[in-house]
Structure 1
Amino acid sequence: MTLEALQLNISSGMVTASRHWRRICQTTLANYGISEACAVPLLMIVRLGDGVRQVAVAQAAGLESPSLVRLLDQLCRAGFVCRSEDPDDRRAKALSLTPRGRELAEAIESELVRLRREVLQDISPADLEAALRVVRAFEEAGRHSQSEQSSGASS
């Protein structure tokens, strides 16, 4: 296969694979009664640790702040997350999971670990590392494009 064909297959395949993986995850999340949109910040909080700043969760989740605020409102109303003033910066909000939220996040995370193991069981660590380099290249291109658009908009 030519380099151009490989690049086409990778870029197209990532879109398709992403759709399939999201569908698998959505089915799993539905079993827990939570949407993918709400699960993302919930999982980011458990991964980043209690007391994490709201802006750090937004960055880790790839969300704009207003979108995250709406999701956090839902998670707080459902009793999964609590917001507080950041002790180091009263302007910032710190996020923590409630016991109920931690239980849900850990159950979801455990199921996602199982799913990843199942899907990737026949892929060698070297192949996973190569795939991760490819994903990172696309992530970096997206960040670069976004920063160019932001700087162009402010000119």
Structure 2
Amino acid sequence: MFTMGQLNRQWRRVVDRLLRPLGLTEATWLPLTHLERATAPMRQKDLAASLGLDSSSVVRLLDGLEAAGLIVRAGHVDRRAKTIDITPKGLEIVQQVKALINQERLKLFADVSDEQLTVAFAVLQNIGGQLQKLEQDDVGVQA
């Protein structure tokens, strides 16, 4: 039986294989998707929070994206306080990657019925809700 962790790792390997020719990995692709969906440039702190990462750990990822011309940073002397925006080149890459990933998703779910997907999604939503409650309980215990 596959666990959610195993499925996640397998999917990441598939995505990394798709992204390799573009010079990206899932780790570098995710910030681009968050920036593409944002309605305005994001502060690094906010981007890190939306990715579930520590702000200081995002610096290296952003350095690589900036060097590739996929993002621009503006503002502050402290690199963690700068605002980050996606460039036209970054937007183009996001569209390419979305198309590639959607093709793989269609293959992945080809033998899964709509009903099965609906049930699976509902179960995962339920598990996610329970995990959020457990995380909140952990915060309360530490306080």
Distance 1:29 1:138 in 2: 29
Residue 45 of structure 2 corresponds to residue 64 of structure 1: no
Aligned to 1:42: 32
Tell me the amino acid that sits aligned with residue 76 of structure 1: E
Q: CA deviation at 1:93?
A: 5.2
Superposition deviation, residue 72 in structure 1: 2.1
Alignment gaps of 5+ in structure 1? 1-8, 86-91
Instruction: Tell me the number of residue pairs that the alignment of Structure 1 and Structure 2 aligns.
Output: 139
Aligned-pair CA distance for 1:114: 0.8
Q: Secondary structure at the match of 1:73?
A: helix
Long gaps (5+) in structure 2: 76-80
Contact 2:15 2:25 (8 Å CA) reproduced: no
Residue aligned with 1:79, SS: coil
Indicate the residue corresponding to 1:30 in structure 2: 20
TM-score if structure 1 supplies the norm length? 0.72
Question: Structure 2 length as normaliser, TM-score?
Answer: 0.77
User: Are the equivalent residues in 2 in contact too, given 1:43–1:109 (CA < 8 A)?
Assistant: no
Question: What pairs up with 1:6-155 in 2 under 5 angstroms?
Answer: 9=1, 12-52=2-42, 54-84=44-74, 94-153=83-142, 155=143
Q: Deviations over 1:94-137 (max 9, x none)?
A: 43211111111111111011111111123222221221122222
State the superposition RMSD in angstroms. 2.6
Give the residue type in structure 1 aligned to 2:58. Answer: L
Determine the C-alpha separation between the residues in 2 that align with 1:60 and 1:134.
23
Q: Mark the CA change 1:50 to 1:125 in structure 2 (over 3 Å): closer, same or farther.
A: farther
Contact 2:74 2:83 in 1 (8 A): yes
The answer (yes or no) to whether the contact 1:80–1:101 under 8 Å persists in 2 is yes
Identity of aligned residues (%): 29
CA contact (8 A) 1:84 1:93 kept: yes
Aligned-partner residue type, residue 126 of structure 1? E
Q: Do the aligned residues in 1 keep the contact of 2:70 with 2:90 (CA within 8 Å)? A: yes
Tell me, in whole angstroms, the C-alpha distance in 2 between the residues paired with 1:74 and 1:148. Answer: 37
8 Å CA contact retained: 2:73, 2:85 = yes
Structure 1, 74-83 or 64-73: larger mean CA deviation: 64-73
Task: Please state whether the residue corresponding to 2:53 is helix, strand or coil.
Answer: coil
